[in-house]
Chain A
Amino acid sequence: AQSVTQLGSHVSVSEGALVLLRCNYSSSVPPYLFWYVQYPNQGLQLLLKYTTGATLVKGINGFEAEFKKSETSFHLTKPSAHMSDAAEYFCAVSPTYGGATNKLIFGTGTLLAVQP
């Protein structure tokens, strides 16, 4: 069964510092990979996704993630944190086989705090 592990339930960075949120997946076949962001009292918003092709994926708000098959990882980065980046971030996978459903399997989330 596919699963997602997010290392670090809480990450704190200073404004302007590098943001690195870790995500590892478990799957016999490389799945589709996603990062979603959830701001307080709001729904989930897609930051970026990897399906096929270029392994470095650029998303919204200056975020990017790199798919590394050898490491089964899909870490999220942003060169310079902004106060508005404070939110909870979820890594998710979706199976690439079958096609009958595109259900998402989420990690436990990482709460990002940005200190002034």
Chain B
Amino acid sequence: DSGVTQTPKHLITATGQRVTLRCSPRSGDLSVYWYQQSLDQGLQFLIHYYNGEERAKGNILERFSAQQFPDLHSELNLSSLELGDSALYFCASSVASGGAADTQYFGPGTRLTVL
């Protein structure tokens, strides 16, 4: 158990819908990262928040957005869902925002299925 929690574990929805994925980082971690794992794209970095502020964006679609709240939990919002958005979404957390000692710990993921 990494200490990172993600809810829900599974999510099934229809095209065009909007969903919210939630992540609680390990106690004391200030950074939250979101990754998408799909069969065709592999594991891809989406976005990074540090202490409530966005630090970096990766291959994140404009239909997707995220935020980190004052209690440090984070939410990833996916809207106007398409079949291709079906994937496993991972959240990871780390103590800081970079540096040699800043290991990322991954949650168990949320499996999103868009029908």
CA distance A98 to B48 in the complex (A): 14
CA distance A28 to B90 in the complex (A): 28
Number of interface residues, chain A, beta carbon within 8 A: 24
Minimum C-beta distance from B36 to chain A (A): 11
Number of interface residues, chain B, beta carbon within 8 A: 31
The reply to whether B2 and A45 contact each other, CB–CB distance below 8 Å, is yes
Which of A44, A102, A108 is close to B90, meaning CB atoms less than 8 Å apart?
Answer: A44
The reply to whether A43 and B2 contact each other, CB–CB distance below 8 Å, is yes
Which of A32, A43, A98 is close to B108, meaning CB atoms less than 8 Å apart?
Answer: A43
Minimum C-beta distance from B103 to chain A (A): 6
The reply to whether A102 and B106 contact each other, CB–CB distance below 8 Å, is no
**A51 — which chain B residues lie within 8 A by C-beta?**
100-101
**B98 — which chain A residues lie within 8 A by C-beta?**
94, 98-102
CA distance A44 to B42 in the complex (A): 13
**B94 — which chain A residues lie within 8 A by C-beta?**
102
0 or 1 for each of B21-34: is its CB under 8 Å from A? (1 = yes): 00000000001010
CA distance A52 to B101 in the complex (A): 10
The reply to whether B48 and A101 contact each other, CB–CB distance below 8 Å, is yes
Minimum C-beta distance from B58 to chain A (A): 6
**A94 — which chain B residues lie within 8 A by C-beta?**
98
